[in-house]
Every structure is written in structure tokens, then in C-alpha cells.
Amino acid sequence: MSHLKLAVDGIILYRERLVAIKRVNYPFKGEYALPGGFVEYGEKTEDALKGCQSWHLTMER
């Protein structure tokens, strides 16, 4: 039996420019992507997206 995972991605504009992240894991390691992540069981997609975007935007660089 396969298990499906729901993911969310969002568009963030900062100073009229699109914000993207650089992937650190395979597949597509080193490629750019929209900030996002997986939705936990029972979590609203909107809340998951806010949490993922907040996490991506506050990471140390």
C-alpha cells in the first residue's frame, strides 16, 4: 500500500522579486524551488504554508 503526502508551495514577492530557495536534498539538489513543504495530518493547508514559509524565511544564511 502506498502512502500519499500532501505538499504546499507558495509564491512570495519581496521588493517586486520572486523569492526562491535552493534545494539541498535530492531530487533536484542545487536547483531553485518555491518555498514550501509537507502538510501534517489534520493540519490546514493554509497553516502548513505559513509555517513552511516562515521557516524558510528565518533560516540562517
* Its pTM surpasses 0.85: no
Digit-coded pLDDT (tens) for 7-56: 999 898 889 999 898 988 898 999 999 988 899 999 999 998 888 777 77
Q: Say yes or no to pLDDT of 60 above 70.
A: no
Q: Are 17 and 59 in contact (CB under 8 A)?
A: no
Provide the pLDDT for residue 17.
93
Confidence of residue 59 (pLDDT cuts 50, 70, 90): low
